Structures are given as structure tokens and as C-alpha cells.
Structure 1
Amino acid sequence: MSLQAGVVEDVRDPGRYDHLCWAFEDAQEFRARAGCFLAEGLQLGEQVWYVGSGDVTALEDELRELPGMEQALHSGAAKADSIEAAYPTGTVVDPAAQVAAYARATAQAVAAGFTGLRVAADATALVRTPEQLDAFARYEHLIDRYILTAPFSAMCAYQRSLVGDGSIAALACMHPGASADATPFWLHATTQNGCAAAIGGELDLATRDLLRLALHRADLQPHNGELVLDASRVEFMDHRSLLQLVEHARSEGHMLVLRTAHPGPGLLIRALGLDRARVEIPA
């Protein structure tokens, strides 16, 4: 279950991150990272999917080269799937429909006797245009909400040279865990009672545009007229970022509540004289 946000160094031990973003340099790196991530799933009794570019036969051959996958393919514990076979070039993913598809696949995996479903996917082909990127970033937040309560986990991978650092950050910030240097902050789903989302990392002038897009794409839901964010993992927040969060909440007619024990946000709120924001100390 995704409880906190942070940098993932080793996909063999994603720890608390059931939903992680990995920016990779080449196909060899993707195969290696995916293999480690999926091998962990097999040990946990999950069905694992290897999703990438190319035809299914070639992807199955790639999967067989990974430790333990030959037998898993034969038994049905592992399968390969092609992005191009499922999505014609230029397809803009329907976020809700994509989540529903994985929910059905997860239910089928559990019905077949597996403990859940784990997917490692090279989704580069689905985020090449601005329209694709916007839809897929929205999907990333929706699937993160689903993962909180479902036996489903995913490593969403994107090739840096084809997507670019800006797009990588826009996708990575919608995950609770990401590879190093993928994003300066995280906005993700949380199980914390009453919280619309959790936010962590560093927020400053350089993240202004990225934060604006993330807030818009996440479509955060208020609780009793308040937009409550678990901010316990925020490492730094400047006054501009605080004002940005306050304005986002205000534009939707809500009070901003930051749930954190750190003194910084409260000091900023008092210094700026903000009456549409408050800090709530976690129980």
C-alpha cells in the first residue's frame, strides 16, 4: 500500500511503493529493471505482466531471458503484452477505462489463484503528444487511488530520450515513488483519513508550473468543505507554493488544510496572514 513518497533506488525492494515511476535510458535498462520488479511479484505469488513495444512473440522471448520467467510463462504466472497491439499509434488513453481494465485483470488473476497482479510497462508510446501526456498523467493518479485498496502494483516506465525530462517529471510526480531525479515532488493518493491526497518533496518557484498541472490533473476531492493534504513528507515549501495551494483550494471554494507536524507551513500561514489555510497536527 502506498503510504509515503520518495525516491526508489532498487526496484527489487520497492517497499511501501506499490506504484512507482522509472525513467530509463535504453531498452536494456528497462528489461533489467522490469525483470527485478516482476521477480519480486512471483515471489509474492502474484501474476506478472511484462508490457512493452514490439510484437508479443519478441516480448515473450525477452521475458524468457529473465531469471525464473521461462517456467512462469509456461504456468501462466507470467505473460507478455504489446503496447502497439492494444493501442494504435497516437491513442489517447481514457483514464477511467484504463483503470477499469486493470481492475478486471486483477480480479481475474485473483480468481485464478494468484495473490494479485503486478505489471511492468514501458508506456513511452502512450505519452508522446501533449494530449496523450495529459490523459496518461490523469490515469496515473486514478490508478494510484485504485492501488490503495487493490492487490495490484505497477512499475510505469518511460524512456527519457524519447519523452524528455519535463514529461518525465509530469508523470513521475503522480506516483508515490520514482527513480532518482525524476521529479522534485510527489502528489499521490493516501489512506490518511480525510485527506484528498498526500504531497511530499520540495516545492519552490521551479516547481510552480508542474504543481499547477498536477493539482489540475489529480482532481482532488474536498472533505467537509476543506481540501486536506497530508504534507508530512514535504521537505521544503516556499511561500509561493503555499499561496499556490491556497489559491487552488479557494478557486474550488474550499479551505486548505495541511496535515503536518513540521513548523514551516504554519509559520508561513501566520506570516502571510492567510485566512483560507490552516495546519492540522497529525494525531
Structure 2
Amino acid sequence: MSPHRTRELAVDAMGHGDHLCLAFADDAEQRRVMTTYLLTGLERGERVLYFADQTAPDQVFDWLREAGTDPTAALDSGQLMVTTADESYLADGPFDADAMVAALHQEVTESLAAGYTGLRVSGEMSWALRDVPGAERMGEYERKVNDVFAGHAASAICQYDARRFDAATLHAFDQRHPGTVAQQPLHTSSALRLLPSLRDGRQCLRVIGDVDYYYAPMLSSALEKIMSWPGDLTVDMSALQFIDLAGVRALARTAERLPAGRRLHVVDLDPMLSEVIHIVGWDQIPSLTVTAREARP
């Protein structure tokens, strides 16, 4: 059975009430999502708060400038505020989950009273990996903060760097959000979508649709791109409708190219296709593991 999936929503489709988790494995994806999120909030007349940790505040301003927007006016008016985790989550030293939730409630009220159309917040959560008193309450905080946004003129994206958080921790935080930010597809057409996603706290490539001889090069290209991800690679085949030998060969060749110690895990593959791979002998490649999906009732 495929794992439970939280709701996935494109960043430019976010609206009031949304509280999403962004798990990213490269800086370009973080920049793409956050630039869109911040600019959309400014264009909609919302107050926008950004709590940086690994990213310097000046770098956030550069994202906006390079997208064609000078943030000076928004900064001067107070519509945009970019600060650090130490000055927000950790302003009192230890992390106080209840105090942070109360502060966000107040920010929503004050933003609306000031004439803004809502509040838009994003925070880099890597500070929680430091030896900070109260950081053990992060899971509790993520549950409580849902009430700040649900049904209110506010939204938030909590950013988790998948290169820093282990899979179990990332999965736990992901499950405490009502949804996740959908990542940019590596390929999309009427027959096939190749979508980076999150599965049990690990980055994976979801294959949705058909992979025949024509689309096998698209799969190969997507596999080439995800080789930069850290650790083992996972390809989720739970939404695959069809794959021919050219597509399976692309998976085998990618596994053979992985450095020693890394593996390509093909999961939730149709049992008949798993058997074909076994007959051909590709499951004997040391760096390739194939797991068939459970039969559906």
C-alpha cells in the first residue's frame, strides 16, 4: 500500500488559510518557491514576514531584485520584514512554542488593522537542529500554529532543508502540516509527469502515467537531475500506468552509475513488472532494489 500523502499545493496557488511544509534538497528549489511566495504576497497587499536562518537577509532581498522587484519601498513601509531566527523564534533565548503562536496571532490581527489584506509568513527551521532549549517542542508548535492560519487571512510556509534533517524527523514535521508545497515537475505532459516529492521523509521522484520508448529519455533526464540529491535515490512508481523495457533500462543504467554505497530504490512497482525485471536479471544489480506494490483488494 502506498504511504499516506498530505495535500500538495503549488506555491502560486496558495491562499489564506494554507500552512504548508517545504522540504527542499537544493538551493535553487528553495529560491524558486520563496521568491514566488514573497512576490505574490506583496502583489496581493499582504504583510510579508520572513525568518531567515541559513540564508542571510540580504540574500532574500537579492532574490526579489533579481526577479525584477526592488524591496526598498516594501521594507520602508513595513509591508516586508526579513529578520533572523534568533530575532523571532529565539527572541527570548529558549524556544517558547506558546509565545510564538501568540505572537503570530497578534501579527495577523495587527496586519489586518493596518490595512493589509492578510499576513504571509515563512521561516527557515534549521535553527531547530542547534542545541536550543525548547527545540524539542517543535512538533507541538507545528500542530498549534495550524490554528493561526486555518480560516484566517494568513498563510505560512515552514522550510525544512532535506540535506540537514534526517528522514524520520522530516517525515514527522511534514505530517504535522495540512499540506506540502508541490515541487516543480521535471517533466509534464498529457501522458507523463515526473514530480519530485516527499515520501516517508525522503525526497523521491514520482512517476505518474506512462513511460514508453518515446518517454524513456524524459525519465533518463529526470533521473540524471536527481542524482545530485544526497544519499540513496527513491523512485515512486505507485502512480505508474505502464513502462516498457526502455524505461526499465533507464532505471538500471542510473543505478549502475551511482557511486559505491548509494542505491536506487524503485518502490511500489506493479508486481508483473517486478517479475519482468527479475526475469531479465536487472534486479541483480547491487545498487538497484525493486519493491512491488501490494495487491489492491
TM interval, short-chain normalised: 0.5 to 0.7
Q: For 1:183 and 1:17, how far apart are their aligned partners in 2?
A: 25
Report the equivalent of 1:254: none
Report the equivalent of 2:193: none
What root-mean-square deviation, in Å, do the aligned CA atoms of Structure 1 and Structure 2 show? 3.1
Q: For 1:33 and 1:82, how far apart are their aligned partners in 2?
A: 19
Cα 1:160–1:148 change in 2 (3 A) is: same
Q: For 2:58 and 2:132, how far apart are their aligned partners in 1?
A: 31
Taking the TM superposition and a 5 Å limit, the aligned residue runs for 1:89-238 are: 92-128=94-130, 134-179=136-181, 180-181=197-198, 183=200
Offset of residue 116 of structure 1: 1.3
Offset of residue 88 of structure 1: 5.5
Q: Which residues of structure 2 form unaligned runs of 5+?
A: 182-196, 202-297
Cα 1:16–1:47 change in 2 (3 A) is: closer
Report the equivalent of 2:65: 64
SS in structure 1 of the partner of residue 120 of structure 2: strand
Cα deviation code 1:147-186 (max 9, x no counterpart) = 12432210001101111221111111011111431558xx
Structure 1 contact 34–50 (Cα < 8 Å) conserved: no
Q: For 2:103 and 2:16, how far apart are their aligned partners in 1?
A: 24
Q: For 2:133 and 2:168, how far apart are their aligned partners in 1?
A: 15
Q: So what's the TM-score if we normalise by structure 2?
A: 0.52
Taking the TM superposition and a 5 Å limit, the aligned residue runs for 1:29-48 are: 29-48=29-48
Q: For 2:99 and 2:86, how far apart are their aligned partners in 1?
A: 17
Offset of residue 39 of structure 1: 2.3
What code does the residue aligned with 2:35 have? G
Q: For 1:109 and 1:182, how far apart are their aligned partners in 2?
A: 36
SS in structure 1 of the partner of residue 176 of structure 2: coil
Offset of residue 93 of structure 1: 2.3
What code does the residue aligned with 1:117 have? L
Structure 1 contact 127–136 (Cα < 8 Å) conserved: no
Q: Considering only CA atoms, is the larger Rg found in Structure 1 or Structure 2?
A: 2
What code does the residue aligned with 2:7 have? V
Q: For 1:153 and 1:76, how far apart are their aligned partners in 2?
A: 18
Cα 1:88–1:153 change in 2 (3 A) is: closer
Q: For 1:181 and 1:170, how far apart are their aligned partners in 2?
A: 12
Structure 1 contact 23–182 (Cα < 8 Å) conserved: no
Q: So what's the TM-score if we normalise by structure 1?
A: 0.55
SS in structure 1 of the partner of residue 163 of structure 2: helix
The number of residues matched between the two structures is 180
Report the equivalent of 2:26: 26
Report the equivalent of 1:204: none
Cα 1:48–1:16 change in 2 (3 A) is: closer
Cα 1:17–1:113 change in 2 (3 A) is: closer
Offset of residue 13 of structure 1: 1.2
34-43 vs 66-75, greater mean Cα deviation: 66-75
Structure 2 contact 57–82 (Cα < 8 Å) conserved: yes
119-128 vs 64-73, greater mean Cα deviation: 64-73
Q: Which residues of structure 1 form unaligned runs of 5+?
A: 185-283
Offset of residue 6 of structure 1: 3.4
